[in-house]
Amino acid sequence: MAVYVDEPVWPWAGRRWCHMLADDEAELHRFAARIGIHRHAYQGPPKTSAPHYDLTGLERDRAVRMGAQPVGREQIVAVFRRVREPRKNKMRQQLPAAAE
């Protein structure tokens, strides 16, 4: 299993932020705890489609020093697509069975 971090390019609250994702959600939480990130910082379904943590640049540096794989935008998007929950077709769910 691997943990991935992209570049801290997202500005918010005077800092630059990045994403931390993993191949397995349990591994993501274990790694976050190892680097001192509290579980309340977790972002995942149903609010977001993929389980992840947002990290500051300093937290990212710590994550890389402890074994996270630094990746570029294309790679983090590929991981995101791999681990996200499938979107549900709300329109199909609202249609009566005879209309399908």
DSSP letter for each residue of 72-85 = -HHHHHHHHHHHSP
Q: For residues 12 and 95, what is the distance between their CA atoms, to the nearest angstrom? A: 40
**With bands split at pLDDT 50, 70 and 90, how would you rate the model's confidence at 11?**
confident
For residue 11, list its beta bridge partners: 16
Question: In this predicted structure, what is the pLDDT of residue 2?
Answer: 94
Q: In the numeric block, which tokens belong to residue 91? A: 């329109």
The rounded mean pLDDT for the chain is 88
pTM of the shown model: 0.81
- Helix extents (H) in the chain: 25-34, 57-65, 73-83, 90-94
